[in-house]
Structure 1
Amino acid sequence: MPKLSVIVPCYFNEDNIPVTVRELVANEARFPPEVTFEYVFVNDGSGDDTLGALQKAQSLFPGRIRIVDLAGNVGSYNAIVAGMAYATGDCLAVITADLQDPPELMAQMYAHWQQGFKLVIGNRQDREETGFAQTLAKVFHWLMKKLALRNIPDGGFDFVFFDQQVAAEVLKLHERNSNVFYLMVWLGFAYVNIPYTRRKRTIGKSRWTLSNKIKLLIDSLMAFSFVPIRAISVMGLGLGVVALIYGLYVIALKIVSPNEPAGWTTLMVVLLFVSAFQMIALGVIGEYVWRGLDAARKRPLYVVRGVIG
């Protein structure tokens, strides 16, 4: 009898939990009768009563819900890794607690898993959100596809269904400051892509701030691409060529017009340009260095305060 573990990271989702649990349990009717379910809710250091709401849901559906209560907020990706570590299913799925991703898609994902696919991706072909959030998301995933992982689907994804082997391989990596979903693709397993339209959030307020999104972009690029640091080398080579040409020009000017005064403006422009490049280069190198230092410390990705159920 196949067992499906559904991992749900939770952060300030007190109002979402009752609705989400009901939707997930009702969604079981779409699966074959032999499938059993386990719901692993990971409380990512929420400051509201998310834990209380989870415990209430657990009492309503005994034997189905496991709560992994983290000691502090470690971010949704590390919370997902914690859920993977405590999940016991033959196959696993990750879905958000705000139901922006359709639970009914999981039955179709399960069918692909039964056919032998280790990874099934729910791909955001479109989203009901509009404005700056939509534009930023499109730019983020376009950059990742062009500069890092060319085999990821267009539009991005954070709704996945995968085999326990994929979960085991991700847990072995102990990746820091990375993107757990891109890690699944990076492993190299063939995957199926199912496009869908992501819903607009109707309950509560998203805690996924602009600074979180920018950090995710930097983390993802640094984790899966050497383009930023290689760009420094290319820019440095380009500046070297420009400096050589300008040096030859200055020497020729000195020979032709010995009394020609040196150009203060030109000197300052070159000095400021080179200095700006050096600061940018140091910043990019620093991003890689601190990530290496963070990995060398080998601090845990998360600390579990307790497991309920």
Structure 2
Amino acid sequence: MPKLSVIIPCYYNEANIPTLEAELVADKSLLPQEVNVEYIFVDDGSGDGTVATLHALRRRYPRQVSVVELAGNVGAYNAVVAGIEYATGDCLAVLAADLQDPPALLADMYGYWKKGIRLVIGSRQDRPETGLPRVLATTFHWLMRRFALRNVPAGGFDFVLFDRQIATEVLRMRERNSNIFYLMLWLGYPYVNLPYVRRPRQLGQSRWTLAKRVKLFIDSFVSFSFLPIRLISVAGLLLGTLALLYGTYIIALRLLGSQEPAGWSSLMVVVLFVSAFQMLALGVIGEYVWRGLDAARNRPLYVVKEVTKAQG
């Protein structure tokens, strides 16, 4: 009997767990009877009653539910890696605890896996956000498709079902400061894309802050593209060429006996512009250097406080 592991990272999701239970765990009709399902809830250092609610859920479903408690908050993507490590299924899926992604789509995703597709993606055809969050998300996915991974679905995704072989590769790499879902695309396996309209959040408050969005963008772009470094090289070459031409112009004026341009203001503008460029270049290079240092230290992605495994 095939086994499916559904990994659900949780962070301040106490209010969502009862709804998640009713719509996912207790609903036997979501998936074919042939599949054995385990649910791995990973608490990412929540400060509310999420852990207690998860253990209460496990007591109601001891053969299906496992709870992995992390010692501190390490981010949703590292929490997913922890879930992959403790998953025992032949295929695995990642589902958000806020139920903005439709659990009913798991049946179709599992069906494609049964046909031999090792990676099945649920991509967002539309999203409930408006205003600045929507603009930022759209820009992020466009930049990733244009300059990093060209096979990224237009709307992005974090709802995915994948084979055990992909899970093994992800665990083997254990990349830091990266995007685990885009890492699955980078592996190169052909995938099936199932578009859906993301639902608005009904309960609780999202912890997906602007700072976390910016970090995700930097992590994703730096992990899969060398464009920032290349742009610095091109800009440096252009500035160097301009400086050489201007220097030649000044020397020519001196040799010809002409009066050199005074222009203190223009000189200060040039100095400030070049200094700003240098600081920006150092910042971009620092992002790459920091990631190299973080990888070299080889600290664990997460620390597991306690694991309560399903009895099945």
The two structures have a TM-score, normalised by structure 2, of: 0.96
Listed as ranges, the gaps of 5+ residues in structure 1 are none
Q: Determine the structure 2 residue equivalent to 1:76.
A: 76
Q: Determine the structure 1 residue equivalent to 2:15.
A: 15
Per the alignment, do residues 28 and 254 of structure 1 end up closer, same or farther by CA in structure 2, a change over 3 Å counting? Answer: farther
Cα distance, 1:145 vs structure 2: 1.0
Q: Distance in 1 between matches of 2:21 and 2:111?
A: 22
Matched, 1:208 2:208: yes
Q: Distance in 2 between matches of 1:248 and 1:27?
A: 77
Q: Determine the structure 1 residue equivalent to 2:246.
A: 246
Aligned positions of 1:1-309 closer than 5 A: 1-309=1-309
Per the alignment, do residues 128 and 260 of structure 1 end up closer, same or farther by CA in structure 2, a change over 3 Å counting? Answer: closer
Residue identity opposite 1:111 in structure 2 = G
| Contact 1:39-1:64 at 8 Å conserved across structures | yes
Residue identity opposite 1:263 in structure 2 = G
- SS, match of residue 117 in structure 1: coil
Cα distance, 1:262 vs structure 2: 2.9
| Contact 2:98-2:201 at 8 Å conserved across structures | yes
Cα distance, 1:260 vs structure 2: 3.7
Cα distance, 1:257 vs structure 2: 4.9
Residue identity opposite 1:116 in structure 2 = G
How many correspondences in the alignment?
Answer: 309
Cα distance, 1:248 vs structure 2: 2.1
- SS, match of residue 48 in structure 1: coil
Cα distance, 1:61 vs structure 2: 1.6
The two structures have a TM-score, normalised by structure 1, of: 0.97
Q: Distance in 1 between matches of 2:263 and 2:222?
A: 40
Cα distance, 1:279 vs structure 2: 0.6
Q: Distance in 2 between matches of 1:265 and 1:232?
A: 26
Cα distance, 1:266 vs structure 2: 2.1
- SS, match of residue 62 in structure 2: coil
Cα distance, 1:258 vs structure 2: 3.0
Residue identity opposite 2:34 in structure 1 = E
- SS, match of residue 157 in structure 2: coil
Q: Distance in 2 between matches of 1:100 and 1:269?
A: 50
Q: Which range moved further: 31-40 or 241-250?
A: 241-250
Residue identity opposite 2:31 in structure 1 = F
Residue identity opposite 1:43 in structure 2 = D
| Contact 1:119-1:189 at 8 Å conserved across structures | yes
Query: Residue deviations 1:256-276, cap 9 Å, x none?
Result: 453345321221121111111
| Contact 1:66-1:308 at 8 Å conserved across structures | yes
Identity %: 64
| Contact 2:24-2:30 at 8 Å conserved across structures | no
Q: Distance in 1 between matches of 2:17 and 2:206?
A: 14
- SS, match of residue 58 in structure 1: helix
Residue identity opposite 1:201 in structure 2 = R
Q: Distance in 1 between matches of 2:60 and 2:12?
A: 21
Per the alignment, do residues 261 and 237 of structure 1 end up closer, same or farther by CA in structure 2, a change over 3 Å counting? Answer: closer
Listed as ranges, the gaps of 5+ residues in structure 2 are none
Q: Distance in 1 between matches of 2:170 and 2:259?
A: 68
Residue identity opposite 1:247 in structure 2 = G
Per the alignment, do residues 287 and 184 of structure 1 end up closer, same or farther by CA in structure 2, a change over 3 Å counting? Answer: same
Query: Residue deviations 1:162-213, cap 9 Å, x none?
Result: 0011000000001000000000000011100000000111100000100000
Residue identity opposite 1:197 in structure 2 = V
Cα distance, 1:94 vs structure 2: 0.2
Per the alignment, do residues 235 and 261 of structure 1 end up closer, same or farther by CA in structure 2, a change over 3 Å counting? Answer: closer
